[in-house]
């Protein structure tokens, strides 16, 4: 089936190119409106179960962040309990709090559950004030 489509597309390549150009020109007037749907939360509805859950979490958990980034740290010889490991991790994220929309960092030093059971890696959570 795909072989047949490929042959037809090649055989009538100028027709195919023309059809694509017509399609692109037809879509151009709608491009300014697309950016709103492609923003953070553009496809989100406040009536979904996920949105209601987010709102409930925001109400009941102080400091809840609807969006976050997770940064993993590992080292071939150091462990998350080593001061040098902690220093290098903090150095890596030293300027992150000055980035717009960053509300804070939750470090693995404050929460032992952010360290792998075998001590091979740890993670920090960067909280954002952006909607998912």
Q: Where are the alpha helices (DSSP H) in the chain?
A: 2-11, 13-27, 31-38, 49-60, 83-92
Q: Whole-prediction pTM value?
A: 0.57
User: For residue 107, what pLDDT band results from cuts at 50, 70 and 90?
Assistant: very high
Secondary structure class of 115 (helix, strand, coil): strand
Q: How does pLDDT run across 81-100, given as a tens digit for each residue?
A: 999 999 999 999 999 999 99
pLDDT on residue 59 = 83
Residue 56 to residue 64: CA distance in whole angstroms? 10
């Amino acid at each position: 089936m795909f072989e047949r489509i490929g042959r037809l597309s090649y055989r009538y390549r100028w027709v195919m190119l023309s059809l694509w150009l017509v399609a692109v020109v037809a879509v151009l007037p709608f491009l300014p409106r697309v950016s709103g749907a492609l923003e953070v939360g553009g496809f989100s509805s406040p009536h979904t179960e996920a949105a209601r859950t987010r709102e409930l979490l925001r109400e009941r958990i102080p400091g809840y962040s609807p969006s976050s980034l997770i940064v993993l740290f590992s080292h071939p010889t150091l462990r998350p309990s080593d001061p040098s490991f902690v220093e290098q991790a903090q150095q890596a994220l030293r300027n992150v709090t000055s980035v717009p929309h960053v509300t804070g960092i939750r470090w693995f030093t404050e929460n032992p559950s952010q360290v792998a059971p075998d001590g091979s890696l740890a993670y920090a959570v960067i909280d954002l004030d952006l909607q998912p």
